[in-house]
């Protein structure tokens, strides 16, 4: 198995932190997004979506999308489950993880990709070009603020996203919060619950991945 990765990008970091939590080691190949390597014919032959991360199995099968890759690895390495230990936990983790994607990552990507000059015409990742819409960048910043507030309220009475169970949803949110710094959004001073959670999960060795 090989993981196509980019050390500086947030989406593959979610997979790296997940693997570190579970003690999984996989051969990792870097795709240099800054030079546009994702659009090279060689990489497009492996991943027509021109995105990272991508997991390639020994028989050549490829799995794209962070959530699908983490799910597959969870099935292969069931010890220390991060997707839930019971049917209810699995449902709650999936719900929280979907929200992290929609309200966190999509908001951050909207804010970044619709504003920075280096992403002109690249407002969405993937094989198709889309022009930037400045109003979407503005809305993305508002959505980040709102998600920070929602998370702060959640952590008032919960240790992690799902009660006292650390899961893949916490990994997604941690990586989102670090990604939000790219658009100069940090946990506001008065969001004490979110800051408490961030400080706690930030001490896990896996976050360095």
Ligand X SMILES: N[C@@H](CCC(=O)N[C@@H](CS)C(=O)NCC(=O)O)C(=O)O
Q: Work out how close the CB of 197 gets to ligand X at its nearest, in angstroms, rounded to a whole number.
A: 23
Residue pair 104/174 in contact by the 8 Å Cβ criterion:
no
Residue pair 69/53 in contact by the 8 Å Cβ criterion:
yes
Tell me 85's DSSP state.
Answer: S
Tokens of 122: 């690249």
Contact flag: residue 11 with ligand X (CB under 6 A): yes
Q: Work out how close the CB of 84 gets to ligand X at its nearest, in angstroms, rounded to a whole number.
A: 19
- DSSP three-state, residue 54: strand
Length of the chain: 209
Binding segment for ligand X (CB under 6 A), chosen from 9-17, 70-78, 92-100, 164-172, is 9-17
- Which residues lie closer than 8 Å to 86 by C-beta, 6 or more apart? none
Q: Give me the 77-116 binding string for ligand X, x by CB under 6 A, dash otherwise.
A: ----------------------------------------
Tell which positions 25-64 bind ligand X, by CB under 6 A: 33, 38, 50-53
Q: Work out how close the CB of 9 gets to ligand X at its nearest, in angstroms, rounded to a whole number.
A: 4
The total of other beta-carbon atoms located within 10 Å of residue 68's CB is 12
Tokens of 129: 């070009």
Q: Work out how close the CB of 112 gets to ligand X at its nearest, in angstroms, rounded to a whole number.
A: 10
Q: What are the residues binding ligand X (CB under 6 A)? A: 9-11, 33, 38, 50-53, 65-66, 122, 125
């Amino acid at each position: 198995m090989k993981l196509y990765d980019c050390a500086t990008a947030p989406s593959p970091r979610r997979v790296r932190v997940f693997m570190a939590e579970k003690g999984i080691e996989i051969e990792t190949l870097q795709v240099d997004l800054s030079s546009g390597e994702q659009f090279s014919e060689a990489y497009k032959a492996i991943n027509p979506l021109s995105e990272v991360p991508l997991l390639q199995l020994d028989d050549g099968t490829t799995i794209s999308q962070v959530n699908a890759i983490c799910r597959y690895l969870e099935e292969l390495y069931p010890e220390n489950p991060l997707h839930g230990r019971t049917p209810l936990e699995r449902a709650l983790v999936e719900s929280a993880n979907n929200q992290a994607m929609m309200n966190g990552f999509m908001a951050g990507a909207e804010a970044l990709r619709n504003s920075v000059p280096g992403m002109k015409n690249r407002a969405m990742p993937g094989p198709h070009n889309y022009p930037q819409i400045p109003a979407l960048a503005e809305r993305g910043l508002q959505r980040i603020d709102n998600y920070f507030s929602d998370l702060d309220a959640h952590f008032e009475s919960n240790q992690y996203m799902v009660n006292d169970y650390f899961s893949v949803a916490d990994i997604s949110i941690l990586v989102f919060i670090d990604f939000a710094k790219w658009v100069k959004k940090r946990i506001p001073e008065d969001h004490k619950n979110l800051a408490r959670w961030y400080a706690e999960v930030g001490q896990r060795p896996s976050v360095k991945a």
